[in-house]
Amino acid sequence: MSEAIPPPAGFRVGHWTDAAGRTGCTAVIAPEGARGGVDVRGGGPGTRETDVVGPLAGTAGVSAVAFAGGSAYGLAAADGVMRWLEEHGLGYATPAGLVPIVPAAIVYDLAEGDPGARPDAESGYAACEDAGEGVPERGQVGAGAGTASSKLRGREHAVASGIGYAARRGGGGATVAALAVANPFGDVIGEDGRPLAPAADGEGAHTAEAIAAMSEPPDPFKAQAGNTTLVCVMTDAPLDKAGCTRVARAAAAGVARAVEPVFSDVDGDVVFCLASGTDRSADRFTVLQVQTIAASVTAAAIRDAVAR
């Protein structure tokens, strides 16, 4: 795995950041003809158009994925992404014109900066204007501008996080990359099974162990449904829609490797997978290989979001 490996050709990532308001949004623009799948695990997701890329929906194509801060208000950023795509001739062709397919998901960052600072349609448009190929910018930018982890004792003691990225090329030639927005309630866990960074108060450095040992909630119990880990897997493997869905589900295992506790009632974890390979007849081993790599790079991308 290497951070120097860019996403597959044709994928573009861009950010819009409000540094003062501690919020922003991120657009992942897919190559024309890309397929998509999604896996929703958290108990409190904030999403838009995830059903249209669900396993039972008839639509397979995805034009872009939008991630945003601002809680549910931030879903408006997808409007700007749609407008940019339409202006550039990208979207699902209908008898009356193009309709870009833009699934979106948000993180809760209202308590981090200015609660009135929220990404909107213009923000989403600006993220698309910023988008380019190559290894994306990471850290506290875009949808990661106001994110944090380890919030058991309140956000004031949390660990700053942001956007992370990782990628790997498989033996079959496909590139599998993951972009992650880390804003979990729990800790981001290293490969050794310990938190990468302790909570700012120095107490209960391992959230899962602290919760397991408690006889009653901390006073006061500050956990709220305002936490989320978002991931977008990008690959040039020849996956159909079903394959994308299976890869998204496998990539969720990478979230579980890097976040603890995970998929809780106070998290809204969502994983997307976008595939651009033109030959869509991937054999079962190819799907298995991409699933395996996707879980690995997802965990690495989440850790990268805290290690920056």
Count CB neighbours of 244 within 10 A: 29
Instruction: Name the more confident of 306 and 3.
Output: 306
Q: pLDDT-derived band of residue 259, with 50, 70 and 90 as boundaries?
A: very high
* Over residues 20-45, mean pLDDT: 94
Assigned CATH for 12-307? 3.60.70.12
Please determine, for residue 29, whether its predicted confidence score (pLDDT) is greater than 60: yes
Q: Which of these ranges, 14-23, 68-77, 82-91, 282-291, has the smallest mean pLDDT?
A: 282-291
Overall pTM surpassing 0.85 (yes/no): yes
For the chain, give the secondary structure using H, E and C.
Answer: CCCCCCCCCCCEEEEEEECCCCEEEEEEECCCCCEEEEEECCCCCCEECCHHHCCCCCCCECCEEEEECCHHHHHHHHHHHHHHHHHCCCCEEECCEEECCCCEEECCCCCCCCCCCCCCHHHHHHHHHHCECCCCCCECCHHHCCCEECCCCCHHHCEECEEEEEEEECCCCCEEEEEEEEECCCEEECCCCCECCCCCCCCCCCHHHHHHHCCCCCCCCCCCCCEEEEEEEEECCCCCHHHHHHHHHHHHHHHHHHEECCCCCCECCEEEEEECCCCCCCCHHHHHHHHHHHHHHHHHHHHHHHHC
Predicted local confidence at residue 153, as pLDDT: 79
Predicted local confidence at residue 221, as pLDDT: 59
Torsion angle defined by CA atoms of residues 79, 84, 87 and 89, in that order, rounded to the nearest 10 degrees: -100
Predicted local confidence at residue 289, as pLDDT: 95
Predicted local confidence at residue 2, as pLDDT: 46
Please determine, for residue 202, whether its predicted confidence score (pLDDT) is greater than 70: no
